[in-house]
Structure 1
C-alpha cells in the first residue's frame, strides 16, 4: 500500500484545521454554523472523490481518517486557545466555562435557575467571573453605566440574534444602534405620556374585571400566578393590538400562554448557546412549541396589518367628506354611517367629524403606531414587524405577570407591609378604588416602595443583559476587559449585594422612602428595566399596571396565604427562562370591612 497519499491527506487535514481556527478567531461565526457544516460535508465528499479518482487504495478509509484528524486538530486548537491564549483568559472562573459555553447549559438544566448559579460563581470567584470562553460576568455598580448607559460603547451580544438577523429581527433583538434608535421612535410614541393617559381607562376596565373575578372567589384558594397571567395578557392584547383575548372574562388559559412558556423554557435550556438555538429553530420537530407561539404571534400581526390597511382608504374618505365644502350635509351623514360600523378607536389618522365622535388624531394601540410610522412604513421587512408582535407579548405580559405574582407573594408573607399599603391607599383614595388615578398613585411612596422592592428582589429578567465590548475594549474601575468579549451585570445578583443595599435579602419597601433611604447605598445597582439606549421601552406602562392592580386589590381585599401555602415553592421552583416563569402561588382574598 502506497502510504504517501495517506500521509499527505492527514497532514493537510491537520494543517487546514489549525489554519481554519486561526482565520475565524477574529470573526463572529455563531450564526454561520449551518453554512460551515455544509462546507465541511462538501469538503469530505470532495476529498473522497479526489482520492477515488487518483485510484488511492481504500479512499473511504483515508477520507474518514482525514476527517477524524481534522476534527481532532480543530478541537485541540480551540481548547489550547481558550485555556491558555484567549483574550478573556485572565479572568477567573470554572475550568469548564473556559472550555465551552455548554457549561452554562449544564448549569441551566440543573434546576432552571441559572441566575442563582451565577450568583454562586461570583461568591466563589469574585466580581469578575469568566462564565464562557469569551464571556465575563461583572458584579459592580460601577460597571452598569459603562456597559448599559446611554453613552456606552458596547453593543448587543450574539445572544440577541438567535431568532433572526438584522434587519429581520424585533426591536429587542436589533444589534445595530442606529437602526435600533430609528425603530424605537415609534415605540416611544406608543408609550408616551399622552398614550398612557389613553391606555389608563382601558386598563382600569380590565383591572375592575380582575377585581370582580377575585370577588367571586372570596374565601377560596386562588392561584394568583395564573390570574396575573390572565390580566397582563389581556392588557397587552388591548394596549398592544387593540383587541381582547378574553381570559379575564372566561377565567380560562389561552393556549398561547402554554406555548409562550414552552418557548421560553426552550430558551432557558439552550439560549446560553445562541448558535445551537438558531440551528434547532430550523428543525420543526425540535422546536414545535417555539414555532407554535411564533406562528400565533405572527397571525395576530397579520390580522392587524389587514385591519390598518383597510382603515386607510376609509380615513381618506372621512377627510374628504368632512373637509370639502361641496360635500355639505351629505358628507357629514356619510361619515356618520361609516363611523357607525367602524371600530373607531383603531383609526390611525386625524378624523374630524364635527363633534359626532371624539377627535382621533393618533393610533390607539402600539401595533398601529409601528405600522404607521412614516420613517419605517415602507422600509421595515415583514419578518421584523412580525417579530415585534412576539416581543410585545413576551415583554408586555410575561414580565408584568411575574412581577405581580411576586408582589402578592411578598405582601402575603409580610402582612404588616400589606396593612401599611392599605392605610396609605385609604388616605389617598377615601372613596375607594373608583377614585384611583395613576397620577395620584405615582406620588404614593410606599406603593412605589412595594413595587421597587419586588423588582429588586425578583427582577422579571434575572440574568444579565449581554453586551459586546467594543474592539478597543473598556475599563471598569481598574480592570481592563479586551474587545469583542461578551459582558453583563447579573441583575438578580447585584440587586441583592450587601455592598449596595443594607439587609439586601430582606423585603423592606421603606428603603425607597426618605425615612430609610440610607438602606439603598448605591442606586446604580438597581437595573430591573436595564438602562440607556437598549433599556425597556415599556417601563412606564408596566409601572402603571403594577400600581393599578396592587392599589385596587389592596383597597378591596384582605390577603393571606392559602392553607398549606407558605411561598416556599415560588422561591425554590420558579424558573429562569430568560424571564422568570413563576410557579403557582395560592392565596386567599377576603372582603375588607369598611
Structure 2
C-alpha cells in the first residue's frame, strides 16, 4: 500500500525486518480488538494521549502524506495523487482541508491489513501438509507460464486456473461487517437500522450449516460448482458484499496468484525438521487482522 497509495517503498524484504508501520498497524488493531471494536474509545484515548501507538501511527501517516504532497513530481498515478488533486482544485469535492487528507491517507494504510500475509502463511502450511496439490498446480502453471509475456506469469492468465483460486479461497480469512439501513430480524431478534453487525468469519466459514467437512482442507469444494462440500455459496464472503465490500479485492487476488504461481513453479517445500505445524494455529492472533503463528518449511528448487 506504500507503493500504490504513496509511491513509497517500505523495502521490508530488503531490510530483512518488519517496518515500523506494520508493527503500528498490528498494535493499533490489537487495541481496537481489545476494546470490543468500539473505535470511539480509541479516539478518546488518542485525545487524552493515552494511546501511544495511535499517536505514533498518526504522526507517521501525516509525515508520509506531507512528504508526498511536497514531491515535485505529483503525476505519479498513486492514490494520494487523486486526494491532492482534489484538495488543490478550485472546487474541491471531498478534500476541503488538510485534516481530511490526513484521515483518508491513514485509511489507505489501514486498508493494507494483512489478508495477503495470512493467506500465504496458511496456504504454505496446507500445501506442505498436502504436497500433491503442489504437483497438480505445477502442471497447470506450466501451461500459463510465458503465455502472454515471455518467461513470466500474468494475473490475466493465472485467473483462469481454477485450482489456484480454489487453494486461495480455502485459506481466505475475513471479518464481515454489515449495517442494514432498514434493520433486520435474525431468529426473532430485531437489530435496528444503522447498527454495525459483525459476523465472526471463523465461525461462518467453518459452519456445518453451510459446508461439509468445514474444518478439513478441501480446495475441491470451490471447483466445478461442487455442491458436495459447499451447501450455500452465499455464506462465503471473504471480501464482503454490497457497497462496503473491499476495494482491494482485485489487487489482493492478483498478488496472491502471482506469489503462489512463482513459488509453486520454482520450488517444492515440506515442513522443516521438528516442525509439527501446531504453532501456526495456536499462536495466531486475530486482532481484527489475522497474524499467523510461526511455521518453518524447507524449500527446494524444482
Determine the C-alpha separation between the residues in 2 that align with 1:549 and 1:246: 17
Picking from 190, 197, 214, the partner of 1:487 is: 197
Picking from 164, 168, 171, the partner of 1:454 is: 171
Determine the C-alpha separation between the residues in 2 that align with 1:474 and 1:396: 31
Contact residue 294 and residue 390 of structure 1 kept, 8 A: yes
Contact residue 83 and residue 95 of structure 2 kept, 8 A: no
Aligned residue number for residue 237 of structure 2? 527
Determine the C-alpha separation between the residues in 2 that align with 1:481 and 1:414: 44
1:416 aligns with 2:126: no
1:443 aligns with 2:208: no
Contact residue 283 and residue 294 of structure 2 kept, 8 A: no
Spell out, residue by residue over 1:77-123, the C-alpha distance to the aligned partner (whole angstroms, 9 max, x if none).
xxxxxxxxxxxxxxxxxxxxxxxxxxxxxxxxxxxxxxxxxxxxxxx
Aligned residue number for residue 27 of structure 1? none
Spell out, residue by residue over 1:245-292, the C-alpha distance to the aligned partner (whole angstroms, 9 max, x if none).
2222222322222222222221221143444323222232x3112211
Spell out, residue by residue over 1:528-570, the C-alpha distance to the aligned partner (whole angstroms, 9 max, x if none).
1111111101110110000000001111111112222232111
Q: Give the CA deviation at 1:515.
A: 7.1
Aligned residue number for residue 151 of structure 2? 434
Aligned residue number for residue 2 of structure 2? 237
Which consecutive residues of structure 1, in runs of 5 or more, have no partner in the other structure? Answer: 1-235, 312-345, 348-362
Contact residue 502 and residue 520 of structure 1 kept, 8 A: yes
**Structure-to-structure mapping, 1:167-182, within 5 angstroms:** none
SS of residue matched to 1:559:
strand
User: Which 4+ stretches in 1 moved above 6 angstroms?
Assistant: 430-433
Determine the C-alpha separation between the residues in 1 that align with 2:113 and 2:38: 25
**Structure-to-structure mapping, 1:102-181, within 5 angstroms:** none
Determine the C-alpha separation between the residues in 2 that align with 1:439 and 1:280: 46
Aligned residue number for residue 268 of structure 1? 33
1:369 aligns with 2:82: yes
Determine the C-alpha separation between the residues in 2 that align with 1:409 and 1:380: 47
**Structure with greater helix share of residues:** 1
SS of residue matched to 1:303:
helix
Q: Give the CA deviation at 1:519.
A: 1.9
Which consecutive residues of structure 2, in runs of 5 or more, have no partner in the other structure? Answer: none
Aligned residue number for residue 58 of structure 2? 294
Q: Give the CA deviation at 1:379.
A: 3.9
Spell out, residue by residue over 1:387-433, the C-alpha distance to the aligned partner (whole angstroms, 9 max, x if none).
22322223225222222222212222221222222222123227899
Contact residue 413 and residue 566 of structure 1 kept, 8 A: no
Q: Give the CA deviation at 1:517.
A: 4.5
Contact residue 511 and residue 520 of structure 1 kept, 8 A: yes
TM-score scaled to structure 1, two decimals?
A: 0.47
Aligned residues between the structures: 297
Determine the C-alpha separation between the residues in 2 that align with 1:561 and 1:408: 9
Picking from 22, 27, 46, the partner of 1:281 is: 46
Q: 1:376 to 1:509 in 2, by over 3 A?
A: farther
Determine the C-alpha separation between the residues in 1 that align with 2:113 and 2:41: 27
TM-score scaled to structure 2, two decimals?
A: 0.88
SS of residue matched to 2:114:
helix
SS of residue matched to 2:170:
helix
Determine the C-alpha separation between the residues in 2 that align with 1:564 and 1:394: 36
Determine the C-alpha separation between the residues in 2 that align with 1:244 and 1:482: 44
Picking from 95, 99, 109, the partner of 1:393 is: 109
Determine the C-alpha separation between the residues in 2 that align with 1:415 and 1:524: 30
Moved more, 296-305 or 249-258: 249-258
SS of residue matched to 1:304:
helix
SS of residue matched to 1:536:
coil
Aligned residue number for residue 565 of structure 1? 275
Contact residue 26 and residue 289 of structure 2 kept, 8 A: no
